[in-house]
Structure 1
Amino acid sequence: MQCLRQIRCATKLRAAAPTSRLLKVTNLLRSVSTLQQKKQEMADNKPWVLISEVGDKGFHEDVVDIINQHFHIVCLKEFLQNPALHGPKIQGMFMWNFSPAAEPSLLSCLPSLKVIANGGVGIDHLDVPYINSFGVKVTNTPGVVSDATADMAMALLLASARTVIEGHLISVDSKTTHVPQSLMGVEVTGSTLGIIGMGHIGYKVAQRSKGFNMRILYHNRNRRSVEDEQAVGASYCEKLDDLLKESDFVVVVVNLTPDTTGLISHRELSLMKPTGTLVNVSRGLVVDQDALVKALMSGTIRAAALDVTHPEPLPRDHPLLTLPNVLITPHIGTNTRGTIRKMVQMMVDNVLAAMKGLAVPNEVKAK
């Protein structure tokens, strides 16, 4: 009898074991399903933002994932097809290469817009007071672009000084049988560098040029501290004219404002050395391009190296494109994968803060 009871008990335990495991599996599946449902709900609750597009004319594919983690994306083309549908739900706008343009016609279609995040430091293309009048904040991405832009300034300076592009064209030309000895560059090491605009980027340029044992002059609205000057061996020029007269290379790194528009024109170029080179990594409108063409053609200055022009790109018949002593790149000073990702992440952080009503890390205040 006792033995029979033991057999029955064992049979029940064996029967119960699969049921218990099945219950655990079922509960686990339910938990996973609930988690997925919550994630879907969270995804559905992501705010909507407007961007220009994904691709060569907009956000690079490599960085769209950063935006997608936090937002639903509407591209401008899709938005324009049905503004009434998309307009009311868009709370943020990501501006890249000046697009989407913050025009009145667009802003009036975005009643829920809280913030415009500009990719880059310069906000000369934005009417901040007007945008603020809609209750919309404006942000930019300072600091994060400084290293890449300073690198570009030095790359342009070196390429121009050492005739890198000319040398490349000769080397790859199928007709080349010898290297002409007339291909001569100018010295960089030990030369004098004048930096116009000693902010974040200008100071980074000074740090790099110190490695070439360059004598560094700078002109800025405000003089930097003695400690900053000593760290890079820079000397302050209160008058821009003094810097222009003494520099072998002049690097322009200023924001575009009414005061800096046309900052470098006929008079300023005439003060430079005939062996001097102008490098511009700020904005095209800072340099009077007609005056620059004349200076380059007449030998007033040796050369120019430009990462910025106005407009961008230049008309294909523009005289700057035909001169042998000018080097032009298509505004790619910030174009490294690392820098672009940092910029977009900063834009995301700015937009999230604005949407949550928090202090916005890089808000641009109306003056």
Structure 2
Amino acid sequence: MSNLFPTYSRWEIEPEWAEGSYLYGKDGKKYLDFTSGIGVNNLGHRPKVVQEAIQEQLDKFWHVSNLFPVELQEIAAGKLAPAAGMDLVFFCNSGAEANEAAIKLARKATGRKKIITFNQSFHGRTYATMSATGQDKIKKGFGPMLETFTYVPFNDLKALESEMNDEVAAVMLEVIQGEGGIFPATEEFLHGIEALCKQHGSLLILDEIQTGIGRTGKPFAFQHFDLKPDIVSVAKGLGNGLPIGAIIGRKELKDVFGPGSHGTTFGGNPLSVASSIATMNMIFDEEFLTEVNKKAEFLKINLKKNLSSLTNVKDIRGLGFMIGIEVTEGVSEILKSLRISGIIVLSAGENVVRLLPPLTATIEEIRTGIEIITNVLSERN
């Protein structure tokens, strides 16, 4: 009997080691990894530059607590905030913690309680972030949620307008709903939200946990739409595998999060921050992102070319290296068949195959992935 709580439906593959775009199982097989650790290993497995940065810090100190000034935190914040066009950073350990901090900051800054989020959203599994999530299945069995969250349909500006008033602390959303099925927000919807927030003195919180750090071909997904959020939450790809999260905020919020207002024991851990600096140095490079966009376009064009004639494929959508293939059946057996064929991918909801390749994947690796996906879906057509 395992001593672990059975909170995860484990796959049949047990990792032995990993490098680049590939994971090698204890079964002796090699798998093309298009999960990137659920959008975490944006530079692939064990990139040399990140591994060297971690080792360098490992030889100095691992943990001292946030009672000390840590230069690496200042360096990391000095890369993260400007990349978002913003000013201030708070480091934590995960996406859920980042969204918790964003919720606290918005409520304290405005003196209001109500926060509007969207149906099929996903913001985390703590009580506040679970309450913010617009999916009932995430909340089942845990009793009453926090009462200060209201949910409206995604991409429905009129529905949002009917809920907006001067009691709303913030509107919180994903630019692309990830766990909800890879649904991108429309430009009209995003700019409408921004205008409504300004009109009512509400803050705009963008959850970039999955979409940030180059995943969509820009440092942050909101930059495709020229938005100016008040708070942005990030995690996943920020440390390329080491646990780290953050919120990025505007300078006007500085005094709201003063000493004693918020904190964390492990947030801004030197090893995680070292990995984030090395990761950002690569991903925020303009030439690197230009290549990401070229490869992402290749992926999307060829998926549509290969799959458009299949009757079991309903839609292909997404942005950059965040792609959803909506099919006419549940995806669990499809994912298993893909693993047997040598590629690891994810689900997003019940009937969407989610692709999150590493940003460093080569054209040849992408071509291989497309070929396997095409063969598996064609066999089930």
- TM-score class, shorter: 0.3 to 0.5
TM-score of the pair, normalised by structure 1: 0.33
TM-score of the pair, normalised by structure 2: 0.32
Higher fraction of helix: 1
Higher fraction of strand: 2
- Which one has more relative contact order, counting CA pairs under 8 Å at least 6 apart? 2
Larger Rg over CA atoms:
1
